[in-house]
């Protein structure tokens, strides 16, 4: 029984000291995180940052980013969460049906949960009319194109828990309605899909 305690203690000690050894000696080649990850830089110690506590806060963030195996363990956690629990750690991305990744910002915009105020849309259309008139005088044509939105034709792939009830008229609906009452040329690929 005493030997098992020593082996367990040795393994526990190794696990506890491995991140520090990796940080200092770079024993194992580790790949960095990609995407929107911006690592914190090592802060400079001054009297003002020490007494205000800023140095300690910044150094803690720096150590958190540079401790050994941190990035590898982040990737491992994210992969386990995605593979076993359909959980995505990216901002505004959810895992839908059939493993489809969908940005909820586009869904919210399509459902009118996020929308532009009517006076702002009127202002944009007024500027587009001015631009169209100026280009017309130069024998140029302004053509507006509504690109297809995945959130409008892939609704069946959204997560089952996501509420697909429209809240407000979407920006797309407002723009297409208002543009149809003008002489501006536009193509609506969203309606084709």
pLDDT-derived band at 124, boundaries 50, 70, 90: very high
Neighbours of 172 (CB within 10 A): 20
Average pLDDT of the chain is 87
DSSP state of 113: S
Phi, psi of 186 (to 5 degrees): -150, 150
Query: CA-CA-CA-CA torsion for 97, 98, 99, 100, nearest 10 degrees?
Result: -70
69-100 pLDDT, tens digit each: 998 999 999 999 999 988 888 888 888 888 88
């Amino acid at each position: 029984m005493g030997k098992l305690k020593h082996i367990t203690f040795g393994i526990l000690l190794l696990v506890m000291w491995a991140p520090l050894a990796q940080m200092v000696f770079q024993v194992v080649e580790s790949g960095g995180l990609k995407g929107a990850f911006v690592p914190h830089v090592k802060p400079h110690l001054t009297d003002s940052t020490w007494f205000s506590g800023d140095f300690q806060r910044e150094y803690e963030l720096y150590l958190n980013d540079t401790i050994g195996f941190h990035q590898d363990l982040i990737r491992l956690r994210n992969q386990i969460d995605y593979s076993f629990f359909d959980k995505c750690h990216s901002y505004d991305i959810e895992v839908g049906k059939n493993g489809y990744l969908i940005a909820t910002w586009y869904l919210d915009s399509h459902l009118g949960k996020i929308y532009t105020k009517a006076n702002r849309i009127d202002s944009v259309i007024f500027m587009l009319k001015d631009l169209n008139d100026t280009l017309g005088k130069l024998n140029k044509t302004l053509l507006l194109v509504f690109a297809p939105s995945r959130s409008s034709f892939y609704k069946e792939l959204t997560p089952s828990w996501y509420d697909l009830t429209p809240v407000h008229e979407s920006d797309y609906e407002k723009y297409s309605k208002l543009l149809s009452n003008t002489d501006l040329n536009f193509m609506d690929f969203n309606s084709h899909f």
